[in-house]
Structure 1
Amino acid sequence: MIRPVTAGVDGSPESLAAVDWAADEAQRRHLPLHLVHAWQWKPPPSASTSVNEADRRWVGRVLREAVGRVSSRHPGLHLTHEQVAGEPLTALLAAAGWTELLVLGSRGLGSFAGFLLGSVSQGIIARTHRPVVLVRAERQSQDDSLGGTEGQSRPGNVVVGLDLGHPCDELIAFAFEAARVRKAELHVVHAYRSPAAYGFALPQDRAQSDPERMREKARVLMELLHPWRAKWPEVTVTEIVAPGIAAERLLRATSGAGLLIVGRRPYSASLGLHTGPVTHAVLHHAGCPVAVVPGR
C-alpha cells in the first residue's frame, strides 16, 4: 500500500502553507497527496435556511480552493481529497493512521519565530503513531522567496535531535530520508548536560575530563550512525555533540535550516497529552517547519 502525504485544510493562511509544503514533499517523495477538510456543522436554533446554505457553500469552497492551488502548482501530482463531517481532531487522527506523514498549519508567535499550538495540533502530535509536520505561514512565505537555480528552491539543512540514551530507528530513518529527497546536508545534534549546566562547581580534575566525555559521546554517535550512513551513502552528515540544554542547542542549529526533526516517546494515557520537554520547547520556538516522529 502506498501511503500518501496528507494535509489538513481549514481555509486559513496557515493551512494553505501546510498544503504547499505537503505538495512539495509529496512530489519529492513521489507519493500522492491527500487533502482533508473536517467540518462539524452545528447550526444555532434560529439559523435560517439561507444561512445554512451559505455556510455549506463556504465549506465546499475551502476544499476547492486548496485543490485548485495544488493543481496549478503541481499539475502532475496525484491528488485526492475528502470532506469529513465531524471534529477535526477525530478526522485528522483517522487520516493520520494510514498516511506517510500528516502536515498541519500552525500560527506563528507574532513577529517572533515559533509556533502557537492549538488543541487539535497538540492532540494529534501526542496521539498519532505517524510523523506530523507543523508549518507556519510566515516561514513558508520566506521559503517561497528564496528562489534557486533551475527553478529549484534551496531547501536548507535538515536538523535532527538525537538522544543517545534512547536512539529511535524511526526518527533516524525519517531524518536520512528527508535529507536524501532534498539533496540537503543532515545535521545530527546531541546535547548533554554537563555538571556545570546545573550550577555545580567542578573540581579541577573533573573540569578537565569534560572534553573526554564529549569525545566519548562523539564516538558513540559516530558508531550509532555508521549503519545509517552505509544505507544512505548519498547523504552528507555532520555530527554535532555539545554540552548544554538540548532544546537550546537544537534551536541554535536550525538557523537557516529547512526542517527540524525531533522524536516523541510512545503515548501513555497516564501521562496525558505528553510530548516531552525538548519537543514541546522546539515546537513553540523553532523558526522552520518541525517534524515530530513517534517512537515505538
Structure 2
Amino acid sequence: MTPCPWKGPEDMDHIVLGYDGSDFAMQALDWALDEAELRKLPLTLAHAWQWPYGDAEEEAKAHLRKAADHVLWHGAECARSTSSGVQVETDLYEGSAAQRLVELSGDATLVVVGSRGLSALPRAVVGSVAGYVAAHAERPVIVVRGPGPLPAPTDPGPIVVADREPDASVVEFAFGEAALRQVPVSASADLTEWAASHPEVRVQAGEAPDHATLMVVGRRRAAWFGAADSLLQHAPCPVAVVSER
C-alpha cells in the first residue's frame, strides 16, 4: 500500500456541520468547532426544513421556515460564543437535510454529523441522515457518537484505523487527524510505510477502541450496507467514514 497525498485546506475550504438543534447536534457542534480550529478553517452550519403535510398556505410554511431559521441562528450563536476565532457561516435549505449535506460536501474538507437527530426513532442508534451522508458524501464524514463531552477528554486516546486492510485514503486521513490532535495512530494493519512518511505521529500496534479519540474506516467497511458489526452502530467514540479511492 503506497501513501498518496490527502487533499488539504488548499483544495477544500471549510467544515460542514449538519445541525438540527438536538442534543446530538450540539455534541457534533463541539467536534466540528474543534476540527475548524485545528485546521484554521471556517465552519458552515447547515439546517434543512420541509413542510410535511402536503399542500399548505404560504403563511403556514413561513412560520415553519422562521422556526428553522431560529434553530440555525441559535446554533451559530453558540458556535461563535464558544469558539476561538472560527468564522461561522450558515446554510438554511428547504428540502432533504441528507441530500443537502451531500451536496455541500463537494467543496468541503469534511462533513460532521450527529449520530441521531430530532427526527430519528427513539430506538435508532444511527439516524437516517447520518447514515445517508456517510454513504454518499464526496468527502470524509465524521459521525459523532459516544458518551460525554467531546472532543477533548483529559487523556485523549489514539486515532484507530479500524480496517484490517485499509485503503490509502483511510490511512492518510487517520494520520492527518493524529497529527492535528497530537495523538498516536493505532491499527492492526502494517503501517510501516506510513510511519516513515509521518515521523511526527507515533504508531502503536493493536487497536484500542474503548479509549479511542476517533475510529477511521473505509466506506465499504462502514456498513449498515451489510456488515453485521457496523462501527456506526456500536463504536464507543466518533467514527470517520472515508471514501476509498
TM-score of the superposed pair, with normalisation by structure 1: 0.69
Contact 1:115–1:285 under 8 Å retained in 2: no
1:214 aligns with none
When residues 103 and 46 of structure 1 are mapped into structure 2, their CA distance, relative to the original with a 3 A threshold, is closer
Which is helix-richer, 1 or 2? Answer: 1
Q: 1:64 aligns with which of 69, 73, 76?
A: 73
Q: 1:128 aligns with which of 123, 128, 137?
A: 137
Q: 2:51 aligns with which of 17, 41, 45?
A: 41
1:290 aligns with 239
Does structure 1 residue 11 correspond to structure 2 residue 10?
no
C-alpha deviation, 1:44, in angstroms: 5.3
When residues 38 and 53 of structure 1 are mapped into structure 2, their CA distance, relative to the original with a 3 A threshold, is closer
Secondary structure at the counterpart of residue 139 of structure 2: coil
**What whole-Å deviation, never above 9, does each CA across 1:97-147 have from its counterpart, x for those lacking one?**
221111111139xxxxx97122222222222231111113x62x344784x
Query: How many Å separate the matches in 2 of 1:124 and 1:188?
Result: 25
Q: Structure 2, unaligned stretches of length 5 or more?
A: 1-10, 118-122
Q: 2:210 aligns with which of 255, 260, 269?
A: 255
Larger radius of gyration: 1
Query: How many Å separate the matches in 2 of 1:265 and 1:52?
Result: 39
Q: 1:21 aligns with which of 4, 26, 31?
A: 31
1:277 aligns with 227
Secondary structure at the counterpart of residue 11 of structure 1: coil
State the AA in 1 paired with 2:216: I
When residues 60 and 19 of structure 1 are mapped into structure 2, their CA distance, relative to the original with a 3 A threshold, is same
State the AA in 2 paired with 1:175: A
C-alpha deviation, 1:54, in angstroms: 3.5
1:177 aligns with 176
1:156 aligns with 157
Query: How many Å separate the matches in 2 of 1:118 and 1:226?
Result: 37
TM-score of the superposed pair, with normalisation by structure 2: 0.83
When residues 189 and 115 of structure 1 are mapped into structure 2, their CA distance, relative to the original with a 3 A threshold, is farther
Aligned length: 230
1:246 aligns with none
Contact 2:15–2:36 under 8 Å retained in 1: yes
Secondary structure at the counterpart of residue 115 of structure 2: strand
C-alpha deviation, 1:55, in angstroms: 2.3
Query: How many Å separate the matches in 2 of 1:115 and 1:259?
Result: 21
1:215 aligns with none
Q: Structure 1, unaligned stretches of length 5 or more?
A: 109-113, 149-153, 191-220, 241-249, 267-272
State the AA in 2 paired with 1:290: V
When residues 145 and 226 of structure 1 are mapped into structure 2, their CA distance, relative to the original with a 3 A threshold, is closer
Contact 2:159–2:185 under 8 Å retained in 1: yes
C-alpha deviation, 1:230, in angstroms: 2.2
C-alpha deviation, 1:274, in angstroms: 6.4
